[in-house]
């Protein structure tokens, strides 16, 4: 099996991978789950519909669902990778990677999310409709990522209160 054929785990799967450290002395060791892992797990469990609702968007089909789930999964992966809250560059990469690269799929994402953005200040007149759709979807993804960053802080505070 070539490396290209190996399935890469999604954020939902990654959030469930046991990455626990064990500390202690003697034969009895208790697992320690890091706070960021708990936060990543909670964010990874958010549904596409919940994410769409946070930005007042529709989620009316498979492409829209994949769009929002991809953002949530990528954010959960970024938490695990950064071992904490992702930085601005990572958040930009998540939002930038959300719109699909294929024209048909990108347009289906736009229609199924019912996304809208006034692109008059972004457009130079040389863009086609697919490029403008990418701008709109990026802006929508950026809003979702900003909401996930707020949720990270909220969930981290809740976990601190529980401990």
Kindly state whether residue 70 falls inside one of the protein's structural domains.
yes
Residue-range definition of the domain harbouring residue 104: 10-23+31-162
Are 141 and 98 within 8 A, CB to CB? yes
pLDDT tens by residue, 52-108 = 999 999 998 899 999 999 999 999 999 999 988 999 999 999 999 999 999 999 999
Kindly state whether residue 1 falls inside one of the protein's structural domains.
no
The model's pTM is 0.76
DSSP one-letter code for 30: E
Confidence of residue 127 (pLDDT cuts 50, 70, 90): confident
Are 138 and 96 within 8 A, CB to CB? yes
* Percent of the chain whose pLDDT exceeds 70: 76
Kindly state whether residue 2 falls inside one of the protein's structural domains.
no
Whether the per-residue pLDDT at 151 is higher than 80: the answer is yes
Kindly state whether residue 127 falls inside one of the protein's structural domains.
yes
> How big is the chain by its Cα radius of gyration, in Å?
18
**What average pLDDT does the segment 123-140 reach?**
86
The total domain count for the chain is 1
Kindly state whether residue 4 falls inside one of the protein's structural domains.
no
Extended beta strands in the chain, E state: 21-23, 30-32
Tokens 């950026």 correspond to 142
Distance CA 107, CA 90 (A): 25
Kindly state whether residue 108 falls inside one of the protein's structural domains.
yes
Kindly state whether residue 134 falls inside one of the protein's structural domains.
yes
Kindly state whether residue 96 falls inside one of the protein's structural domains.
yes
């Amino acid at each position: 099996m070539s490396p290209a054929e190996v399935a890469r785990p999604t954020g939902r799967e990654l959030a469930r991978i046991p990455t626990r450290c064990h500390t202690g002395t003697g034969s009895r060791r208790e697992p320690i789950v890091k706070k960021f892992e708990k936060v990543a797990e909670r964010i990874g469990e958010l549904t596409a519909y919940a994410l769409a609702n946070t930005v007042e968007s529709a989620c009316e089909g498979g492409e829209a669902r994949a769009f929002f789930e991809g953002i949530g999964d990528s954010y959960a992966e970024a938490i695990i990778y950064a071992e904490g809250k992702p930085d601005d560059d990572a958040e930009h990469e998540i939002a930038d990677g959300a719109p699909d690269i294929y024209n048909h799929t990108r347009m289906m994402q736009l229609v199924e999310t019912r996304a809208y953005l006034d692109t008059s200040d972004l457009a130079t007149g040389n863009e086609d409709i697919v490029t403008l759709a990418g701008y709109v979807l990026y802006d929508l993804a950026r809003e979702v990522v900003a909401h996930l960053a707020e949720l990270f802080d909220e969930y981290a505070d809740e976990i601190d209160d529980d401990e």
